[in-house]
Every structure is written in C-alpha cells, then in structure tokens.
C-alpha cells in the first residue's frame, strides 16, 4: 500500500493518529519523550533521518528548517538488511529533494 492509500485506509487510523501525534510532538518540543515511538537515527549514514514508530510500522522523515518531511514507511522488519533498505529509500528521497531544490 502506498502513501495516500495507506493514510486514507480506515484500518490504519490508530497508526495514522500515532504518526500525527509524533510529528506534532517533534515539531513543538523537538523530540519524542519515548524513544520507542520515534528517534533520530545514529551514525554518519542515517543520522539525518528521524524514525517514527507506530503500530507495526516505521516511517522515516528528514527536517528542512522547522518542517519534517515524511519520505516513506514500511511494516516493521526485524532484519537489519531490510530496515537499511527502507532507510536507503528515505536517503534517496532526501537527496532528490535537495537536488531539485538546488536547480
């Protein structure tokens, strides 16, 4: 399921509510109190990404000034390789955003 379809699907109302609450907390307070619900990723490669965790899903975002742009989301995976694949999608979208902004 893709962005708008996932977001509009009635089965995902709890997930959507937690995502929006997390975004609002991050926007107003600069962090989410419970890192189980979201945190900045660590390391050189992924340190520019914020990971929101909702009911069974992870969403990735990056910050532009005071705005957080959500790039993608996926079902939670325990495999580090699959998580990195989703994170790489977020990095690619972030790079494309900045490339487009600089043209």
Over pLDDT 90: what percentage of the chain? 33
38-40: strand order across its sheet = 38-40, 50-54, 57-64, 67-75
Number of domains in the chain: 1
Give the domain CATH number at 41: 3.30.2310
What residues make up the domain containing 77? 3-101
- Measured CA to CA, the distance from residue 43 to residue 70 in angstroms comes to 20
Predicted confidence (pLDDT) per residue in 3-18, tens digit: 666 667 777 788 888 8
pLDDT < 70 positions in the chain: 1-7
- Which residue shows structure tokens 């325990």? 78
């Amino acid at each position: 399921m893709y962005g708008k379809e996932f977001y509009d699907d009635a089965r995902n109302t709890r997930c959507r509510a937690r995502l929006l609450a997390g975004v609002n907390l991050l926007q107003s307070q600069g962090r989410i109190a419970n890192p189980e619900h979201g945190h900045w990723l660590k390391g050189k490669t992924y340190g520019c990404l914020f990971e929101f965790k909702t009911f069974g899903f992870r969403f990735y975002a990056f910050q532009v000034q005071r705005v957080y742009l959500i790039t993608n989301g996926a079902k939670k995976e325990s495999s580090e390789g699959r998580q990195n694949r989703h994170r790489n999608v977020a990095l690619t979208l972030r790079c494309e955003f900045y490339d487009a902004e600089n043209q």
